[in-house]
Each structure stands twice: as C-alpha cells, then as structure tokens.
Amino acid sequence: MGTMPGDSIGERERGPTVAQQAREPRLSDVAKRAGVSPTTVSRVLNNRGYLSQQTKDRVALAIEELQYRPNEVARALLGQRTRIVGVILPMVSLPFFGEVAVAIEHALAERGYRTLLCNSMNRSDAERDYLQQLEGNRVDGIISGAHNDTIPEYAATRLPVVTIDRELAEHIPNVRADNRAGGRLATELLLRRGSRRPALFTSTPGPRNLREAGYRDVLAEAGLEPVVVAVTFGTPEPERTTRIRAALDRLPEGIDGIFATDDLTACTIVEWARSTGRRVPEDLRVVGFDGTNAIRTAAPWLSTIRQPITQISRTAVEMLLDRIEGRSGTQAPTTRPSVELPVTLIEASSA
C-alpha cells in the first residue's frame, strides 16, 4: 500500500511547511522530521549515551534539511560551554582598541571561540548593561578593556574575567604593556634630544597612571619640575581637540617638549604647534604612546612608544581560556594576577 498524505515520508518529500519556513526551526521540528523524540535529538547533538548509527543518520539528515542551528543559550543552561567570549571595550573607533578587538577576535577564532563585542562608549551605565547582558547570554567568559573603575559587579560575577590595562579586583588578571617603562623611555628621549622642560599630556592623572609615574621618575632623577595636563579620556570630538588646544595655549613659558600618553593626542599637539608657527622638533619635541598600525601609517613622523597589541590580546585570550577550561576540570588555571609585556621605543622626526 502506498503512503497516505500526511505521513512522515510524504512530509519529507514535500519539505518544510509554510509555517516552518516562517520561523527558525526548533529541536521539536527536528525530532518530528526524524521520527524520534526531542530527547533523542538532544542526545545526538550532545553525543550522550548509546544511539544506533541509523538514528544518528536520521537526525543528521533532519538537521540538514531544516537547517537547524542549536540554541547556544540552551546549551549553556544544560551546563555546556557556548564557546562565546564577551569583549567589552570603551571605544572601538580609537585605533588602539580597534586593533585590540581584531587581535582578540583572531586569537579566539583560532581556539574555536566566537566574539561578542560590546562598545561601551566609555559610559559606566552602558558597561553595566553589557555585563548583565553577557551574563544573561551565558558567555563563557569576558575580556574587559573599558576604563570605568567604579563597577563592583565585576568582582561579584561568577564568569571568568581577564582585563586589558585595567585593575578591577585582586583575583582578576590584568594584561598590559609595561607602562611605567614606556613613560620613562618617552621622557628620556625628550631629554636626550635637548628638551629642558617637558610636559605631560594624559587622560587620567594620578598615582595609578603608570605612564605618568615613568615621566615623573625621569624628571625627579634630572631635578626637573613636572608639568601635567589632563584632558579626560573619552571626550568626544570636536570638544576633545578644543580642550587640548586650549590647554596648549595656557602652557607655562619654557615648555619645549611634550610626552602625550596616546598617539592621537600627540598628533593633535603637533598640528597645534604647526598652526601656531612652532617648529617640530626644533621648538617643540613630541612623543606619543601606542604605536598602532593605523597611526604608524598616517603619521610615520611621530616618535612613539609601541605597545605589543597582538601579544597583549593573545595573552589575555590564553589566560581567559585557561580559566574557562580549568573551571570545567579539563585544565588547571595557570593565570597570574598581572602580566606586563615590554614596549618598544620608535624614534622619528617629531622628537
């Protein structure tokens, strides 16, 4: 006897119904098409228990026909890893953080993980929201490079967390360049090139600013008085440039060198000098910090301190995955509280 309309073989020949095509297929749809229970489909997906090869083939064919994609959140609720890592950065439009995002994504992809990128725009409320969303979506861990320090939720989260150039809590590892050494190298270059009164332009002054600490160390050894100017990190354009230029106009007499703790500020300073008739480096020597590929291409004349961005990003990924996999018992955690990686001085014509 031939098959009647509506039985499983007839449905298989006709393909998905209009209703099925209108929404994403579910596990129950796969079960129905394969003629097995949803529990059996779940066991096939998760490779649990004994199942005949015939059953596995039927489920695999149904998955292929329906183009079913397992729900990652559902996997997490079953205690499995989603193989997704959340990355919170303050402003990916900035060259440094843009290159960090790319390097992290590449390093995670090599290990079979995907990246969920969150751009906080340097707002603490947005960063809190992203942290809650990442926890709710059951990502396996978080890499954070945002600059808001007043977020206690990081210390309370059960997710593995690694930071880039940011101290959040004693138990959260921090990967960064050797900022203090970089501050020393930049300031020493200014003095070696003849500067007698170098100033510092930074975004967050104070004892936790290790680039500033390196600048102050060198000036103290030389018996010189520091001059520190701050323009808050994340100030939007054109206000940022306006503030920098206004601060430059108010500089004390005799300032003949500037160490800027990021390359964009250094470039703004050079443009100000040229627009006001000052020669660089004869009248004003300038050194930046970061050394991203974008700035090295756009401003090859800028002396700067290059951070090892790829190495920083890969180290953060390795440390986070050690914590993720160590938590599941497959690998013991090997992370250290903080890792500092060496910087490189790039000498060019601005200093």
| Per-10-residue mean pLDDT, the chain, length 351 | 41 48 77 90 74 87 81 54 90 94 96 93 88 85 83 83 88 93 98 97 92 98 97 91 97 96 97 97 97 96 98 96 68 61 97 94
Two tokens at 81?
């890893």
d(CA 191, CA 65): 70
d(CA 86, CA 116): 5
Two tokens at 120?
């906080």
pLDDT in the model for residue 109: 95
pLDDT in the model for residue 71: 60
Contact 19, 11 (CB under 8 A): no
State phi, psi for 9 to the nearest 5 degrees: -70, -40
Whether pTM exceeds 0.85:
no
Letter string b/e over residues 293-323, b meaning 16 or more CB atoms within 10 A of that residue's CB: eebbeebeebbbbbbbbeebbbbbbbbbbbb
pLDDT in the model for residue 43: 80
Element containing residue 230 per DSSP (H, E): strand 228-230
pLDDT in the model for residue 224: 97
Which of 209, 208, 204, 211 lies closest to 229, judged by CA? 204
Q: Which amino acid is at 273?
A: A
Give the pairing type, strands 198-202 and 228-230: parallel
pLDDT in the model for residue 70: 66
pLDDT in the model for residue 3: 41
